[in-house]
């Protein structure tokens, strides 16, 4: 398929004008009668027709911008585009850097309109109205571009996704005033992007995968791959080429190592496959089974699309996440503690299984709890604990648990087994406690927190969705020691003594520490790696459905999000 930007530019009719006017003369420094006619008496958004036959809605901030500058053009003169207008066009042409399609911002139409004047294809009397139209288009679509950079294009609620983190927004009127005051458009765009290094690293990876697509992508790998090291098969050559084409440094180097015998599945190629498996949350056995083959045969175009979707989800977040914060990537089963903009600690985590999905939200840490009680949530009480007690009256005692009526502990001998729903249940501190030695609280409506666990065997699994929604930590005591020193008045040197008391103790967090529970299936690590994770909660799939719905409804939307310009 041809690039939609080029296709749109060629499709513009040189005979159709944005504004019908026969006014002539030099309006430089004078109000534009064409703009005044459109916005002066508008009592809300105004729809104008573009030269390609499509329409564009001028928003109220844009109408206000022109009213308050006395209907003066901002980026054009009566017969030419000004330097600032060219800068705006260049910025929108480069929207693909962020995975946004320039066609979404009418770049092809605006460029074609300018070219009509540059090529003298208009009558002189038509030029003032034509360039006034260019001015209006540039103002409106630059504002949209800015808002998409700050709040994203896709709306999670439209896909039925939970999203409890307030989005930032742009004051479009103030933005246009800044632009008209000679601020550099490219600098403004850069200032609006998410500040997280991971976003910019993902932009770099997008450019790399877009380049792979332009160069032809990679070929499908056949299933003719041996399972034994040293065996030969015709499909091994295709596997080598596939890993080399993606260009991961370690994988490409290892795959090239056996080039002298390209059809032999040697140790180096097995190591390359194992590295690939780690990057895709697969069992790292160095063998090309069905799951590994499936991931190998995800096309480069699909990887671009996946990166574009994930870039948009970064834009749903606050632009500034803070200098220090905890970020959990649920899809990647990972946690990072960011301290002063650097990764101070990283670890594997266990997240919610099917039916108990970990929600996506953000909050602020308030307490560390050493030797915590586990207060059983109502859902687990009703679905698991009560049935277990009814089957086995000794269940509570054997699991170091107790029943409560209000705040009072009820002896097992006094329980009303016919009305167990009347009680709440908790597990006492100890080695068998489901929360382990420490939990980290950031009070939220979902009753989700980070915690230790005695079930540490799950951390070595390649897919780690086993919990009831809370997040189990691989290195809870390492995190506790760091946070005690960084965000509490209790030094980490006291942790061992606190643990030895075998009683619940609460420690207040005295510094602001945001916690972000997020979901990214495409992750550009600070170590330079590009990782793709399974869509365990099918959030990406639902966003893809929203994209397809948008394409059916909006003729100006990109033909595929994956193209993203560039």
Burial 302-335 (b: 16+ CB within 10 A, else e): ebbbbbbbbbbbbbbbbbebbebbbbbbbbbbbb
Q: Could you confirm whether 24 is annotated as catalytic?
A: no
**What's the rounded Cα separation, in Å, for the pair 238 and 311?**
31
Q: Could you confirm whether 470 is annotated as catalytic?
A: yes
Q: Residue 133: which H helix or E strand, with range? A: helix 127-151
Q: Residue 91: which H helix or E strand, with range? A: helix 83-93
Find the DSSP H helices in 459-565: 476-487, 495-500, 539-553
Kindly state the tokens that stand for 523: 């992750």
Local structure of residue 407 (DSSP, 8 states): T
Q: Residue 387: which H helix or E strand, with range? A: helix 386-391
**What's the rounded Cα separation, in Å, for the pair 562 and 553?**
18
**H helix and E strand count, the chain:** 20, 19
**What's the rounded Cα separation, in Å, for the pair 530 and 251?**
12
Q: Three-class SS of residue 514? A: strand
Q: Residue 112: which H helix or E strand, with range? A: helix 107-118
Contact 472, 452 (CB under 8 A): yes
Find the DSSP H helices in 247-347: 249-257, 267-279, 290-296, 300-315
Burial 338-361 (b: 16+ CB within 10 A, else e): bbeeeeebbbbbbbbeeebbbbbb
From 130, 148, 280, 470, active-site residue: 470
Local structure of residue 73 (DSSP, 8 states): -
- Phi then psi for residue 352, to 5 deg, are -65, 140
Here the contacts of 213-222 (C-beta below 8 Å, separation 24 or greater) are 213/300, 213/301, 213/304, 217/245, 217/299, 217/300, 217/301, 218/242, 218/245, 218/246, 218/299, 218/300, 219/245, 220/297, 221/288, 221/293, 221/296, 221/297
**What's the rounded Cα separation, in Å, for the pair 30 and 129?**
13
99: left (phi over 0), alpha (psi -120 to 50) or beta: left
**What's the rounded Cα separation, in Å, for the pair 468 and 351?**
8
Contact 230, 258 (CB under 8 A): no
**What's the rounded Cα separation, in Å, for the pair 96 and 102?**
7
Question: From the CA atom positions of the chain, what is the Rg in Å?
Answer: 29
Q: Residue 368: which H helix or E strand, with range? A: strand 367-370
Q: At what angle do helices 127-151 and 185-192 cross, to 10 degrees?
A: 20
From 257, 280, 451, 468, active-site residue: 451
Q: Which residues are catalytic?
A: 451, 470
């Amino acid at each position: 398929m041809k690039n939609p930007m080029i296709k749109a530019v060629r499709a513009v009719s040189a005979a159709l004008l944005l504004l019908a006017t026969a006014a002539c003369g030099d309006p430089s420094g004078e109000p534009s009668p064409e703009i005044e006619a459109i916005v002066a008496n508008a009592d809300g958004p105004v729809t104008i027709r573009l030269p390609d036959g499509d329409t564009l809605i001028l928003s109220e901030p844009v109408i206000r911008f022109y009213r308050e500058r006395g209907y003066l053009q901002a980026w054009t003169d009566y017969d030419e585009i000004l330097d600032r207008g060219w800068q705006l066009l260049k910025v929108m042409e480069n929207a693909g850097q962020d995975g946004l399609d320039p066609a979404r911002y009418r770049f092809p139409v605006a460029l074609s309109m300018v070219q009509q004047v540059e090529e003298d294809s208009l009558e002189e009397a038509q030029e003032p109205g034509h360039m006034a139209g260019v001015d209006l288009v540039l103002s409106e679509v630059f504002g949209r571009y800015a808002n998409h950079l700050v709040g994203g294009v896709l709306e999670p609620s439209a896909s039925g996704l939970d999203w409890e983190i307030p989005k930032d927004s742009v004051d479009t009127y103030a933005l246009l005033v800044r632009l008209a005051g000679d601020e550099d458009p490219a600098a403004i765009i850069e200032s609006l992007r998410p500040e997280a290094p991971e976003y910019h690293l993902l932009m770099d990876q997008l450019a790399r995968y877009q380049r792979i697509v332009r160069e032809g992508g990679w070929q499908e790998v056949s299933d003719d791959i041996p399972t034994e090291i040293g065996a030969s098969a015709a499909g091994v050559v295709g596997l080598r080429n596939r890993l080399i084409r993606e260009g991961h440094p370690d994988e490409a180097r290892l795959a090239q190592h056996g080039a002298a015998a390209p059809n032999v599945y040697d140790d180096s190629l097995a190591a390359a496959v194992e590295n690939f498996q780690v990057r895709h949350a697969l069992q790292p056995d160095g063998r090309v089974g069905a799951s590994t083959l499936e991931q190998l045969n995800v096309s480069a175009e699909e990887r671009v699309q996946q990166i574009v979707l994930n870039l948009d989800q970064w834009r749903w977040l606050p632009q500034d996440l803070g200098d220090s914060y905890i970020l959990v990537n649920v899809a990647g089963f990972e946690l990072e503690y960011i301290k002063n903009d650097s990764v101070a600690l990283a670890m594997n985590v266990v997240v919610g299984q099917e039916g108990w999905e970990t929600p996506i939200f953000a909050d602020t840490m308030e307490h560390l709890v050493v030797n915590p009680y586990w207060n059983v949530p109502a859902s687990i009480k009703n679905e698991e604990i009560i049935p277990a007690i009814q089957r086995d009256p000794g269940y509570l005692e054997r699991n170091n648990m107790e029943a409560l009526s209000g705040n009072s502990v009820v002896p097992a001998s006094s329980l009303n087994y016919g009305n167990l729903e009347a009680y709440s249940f908790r597990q006492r501190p100890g080695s068998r406690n489901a929360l382990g030695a420490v939990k980290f609280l950031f009070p939220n409506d979902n009753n989700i927190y980070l915690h230790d666990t005695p079930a540490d065997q799950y951390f070595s699994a390649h897919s780690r969705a086993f919990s009831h929604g809370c997040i189990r930590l691989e290195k809870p005591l390492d995190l506790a020691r760091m946070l005690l020193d960084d965000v509490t008045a209790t030094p980490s040197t006291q942790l061992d003594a606190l643990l030895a008391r075998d009683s619940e103790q609460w420690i207040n967090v005295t510094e602001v520490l945001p916690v972000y529970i997020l979901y990214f299936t495409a992750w550009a690590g600070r170590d330079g790696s590009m990782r793709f994770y399974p869509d365990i909660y099918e959030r990406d799939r639902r966003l893809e459905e929203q994209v397809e719905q948008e394409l059916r409804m909006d003729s100006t939307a990109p033909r595929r999000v994956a193209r993203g310009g560039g």
